Structure 1
């Protein structure tokens, strides 16, 4: 199958998805089940053969417990400037090497430098709490 026009962005997305899936210790089949996206379609996305819609990216992001914005940036749907702060906050929230207290402290420091609205803070706090509960 031939690569799509603009395949550079798609390949970058595919590599990023594959890496996120591996970090989540999920097989392609497990990701397919959790995201409700077919296994062959996910494989094609990872190999850069398909360009997924924003809706599909959102389903994948939810299953991987990462921000949809980070996938939108990789897919070229969203400009990095619009989601850079969220990606940093997600990285802190999902880092398994940090305790909940460390995550909260890092997020507070980061937000004090860049500024952040309350709605995002509350949403991210939920993500941190959920991620920590799953570890135990």
Structure 2
């Protein structure tokens, strides 16, 4: 059973209300894509096997905490999981979550491509935040009375490694 593509607005953008709300189907698709069993995912997420089965079949609605644990176990960003569950409105999303919402809503991308893009994006955001924190700490240590604004540069090696790690498996999967 495949999901239908979201309806498009005049501008060509999917609106949050158009996104599929079947979180159970999304979790099942992500689990199958990751090639792990229901029992393995339940163990990794810290939930019971019967509970996860009920979530996947749409009989139970997972809490935000369970969604976060499942997102971590499936290596999907939490905002993407919240968006799919209807807990996050893309229009009211915090900074940076609009990108992950757009990735999740794109009907032209496969599940593995969406997962890879989200992971790459989150890696870049973490690296930039880390670089900004380091720059702020260095500025405070060097010149405590003068406030400088530095443009953080991402750690290229780490980001490039993350890109290679996430894109290579997705490319292999597409070729099979």
Q: TM-score range by the shorter chain?
A: 0.5 to 0.7
1:15 deviation in Å? 0.8
- Write out aligned runs for 1:33-44 (5 A): 33-44=43-54
Q: Which residue of 2 aligns with 1:84?
A: 98
User: How far does residue 69 in structure 1 lie from its aligned partner after superposition?
Assistant: 0.9
Q: Which has the larger radius of gyration?
A: 2
SS at match of 1:31: helix
| 1:1-136 matches, cutoff 5 A | 9=21, 12-81=22-91, 82=93, 83-87=97-101, 88=103, 90-92=115-117, 118-119=128-129, 125=159, 128=162, 131=165
* TM-score, normalised by the number of residues in structure 2: 0.49
The alignment's TM-score, normalised by the length of structure 1, stands at 0.61
Q: Is the 8 A contact 2:42 2:49 kept in 1?
A: yes
**Which contiguous aligned blocks of 4+ residues in structure 1 show a shift greater than 3 angstroms?**
87-91, 124-127, 129-132
Q: Structure 1: where are the runs of 5+ without partners?
A: 1-7, 95-102
Distance, in Å, in 2 between the alignment partners of 1:54 and 1:80 is: 16
- Say how many residue pairs are matched: 105
Aligned counterparts of 1:32 and 1:67: Cα–Cα separation in 2: 18
Cα RMSD (Å) of the superposition?
A: 3.5
Provide the rounded CA distance (Å) in 2 between the counterparts of 1:51 and 1:128: 32
Relative contact order, higher structure (CA 8 A, sep 6+): 1
Specify every segment of 5 or more residues in structure 2 that has no aligned partner in the other structure, as ranges. Answer: 1-19, 104-113, 131-153, 170-176
- The structure with the greater share of residues assigned to helix is 1
